[in-house]
Amino acid sequence: MMAQPAPSSHYLRCCDREIHYAEWGSRGRPPVIMWHGLARTGRDFDDLAEALADRYHIICPDTLGRGFSQWSPDPDNEYCLAFYARIARELVDLLGFDSVRWVGTSMGGATGTVAAATTLQGRISHLVLNDNGPALADAAIERIKAYAGNPPQFATMREFEQFLRTVYKPYGWQSDAQWRRMAETSARRMPNGKITPHYDPAMVRQFFVHPDDYALWDFYDMLTMPTLVMRGIDSDLLLQETAEEMTRRGPCAELAVIPGCGHAPALNVPEQIDLIRDFLQR
């Protein structure tokens, strides 16, 4: 059995903060930025990036405060979409990209929306919003606020993996190997020896210091590029009425409802990968 290709790992200084990213594909091909969700890392895109690496040069950053990127020394001012959009612009500039395609899951979609309307205006040619929109359901926001700032700790990796399988069940089907990879790319060990998710708990302050950060209709209405909205059919974050309104406003997005998923589709199965591949090739 042939080993699966792995991404290369890199670091850049963006907005005076060290940002880590995983890189797939060859330089010189059309670039794609894949930006992960709130409490996740860029390695969530391994399956999608591997599938598209024959055609694209793919960059999967860890957001400030997540994965191997630096934690912010100024959480109240830097854990917000405006600062993430500034980081995105510097990342794109330092990598020498004139324009990019953007695939964003949840917070990564919101970051792409803000960047497309401000820091990267005119430089995002295609936008994929994976279970994200300009208005999010209040109940889901309260759920996120309740868990994200107090990540649990576990004695063993198997316990941590079982926690992820429970919390991220709405991602839809994943193989045992994919769940194991998610656990191993999402874990950090605490000074007490226990395992916890690989992010700065202070990042949840975004919802308290910037309570309207995800109210993005003004930004969305500025967009004109081809846009694909993917909504997990059981999503509690992106409501169906919001997704449908997105097809009538701003870039008049194409809407794809993904069966067997809530928030948010894992982008790891052929049907979801093919949907994105076809959209990005247009």
CA distances from 175 to 150, 168, 200 (A): 28, 13, 28
All domains of the chain, ordered by start, with CATH?
8-138+214-281 (3.40.50.1820)
Binning pLDDT at 50, 70 and 90, where does residue 144 land? Answer: confident
The average pLDDT across 76-102 equals 98
With 80 as the cut, is the pLDDT of residue 5 above it?
Answer: no
pLDDT in tens, 224-255: 999 999 999 999 999 999 999 999 999 999 99
pLDDT given at position 149:
85
Q: What is the pLDDT of residue 248?
A: 98
152: number of CA atoms within 13 Å, CB side? 13
**pLDDT tier for residue 1 given thresholds of 50, 70 and 90:** very low
pLDDT of 278 strictly over 90: yes
Tell me the average pLDDT of the chain. Answer: 96
pLDDT of residue 3: 42
Over the stretch 8-32, which tens digit does the pLDDT of each residue have?
A: 999 999 999 999 999 999 999 999 9
Judged against a pLDDT cut of 80, whether residue 2 lies above it is answered with no
Please give the Cα distance from 186 to 243 (Å, whole number). 29
Indicate the range of 99-108, 140-149, 259-268 predicted with least confidence: 140-149
For residues 80 and 38, what is the distance between their CA atoms, to the nearest angstrom? Answer: 11
pLDDT at 187 over 70: yes
Note the pLDDT tens digit of each residue in 212-222. Answer: 999 999 999 99
| pLDDT reading at 203 higher than 50 | yes
Mean pLDDT, range 72-85, rounded to an integer: 98
Would you state the pLDDT for residue 147?
Answer: 80
Give me the pLDDT at residue 6, please: 80
Any alpha helices (H) in the chain, and if so which ranges? 46-52, 75-78, 81-94, 107-117, 138-148, 157-167, 176-184, 206-209, 217-220, 240-246, 270-281
In sequence order, the 6+-apart residues with CB closer than 8 A to the CB of 126 are 101, 102, 225, 226, 227, 228, 279, 280, 282
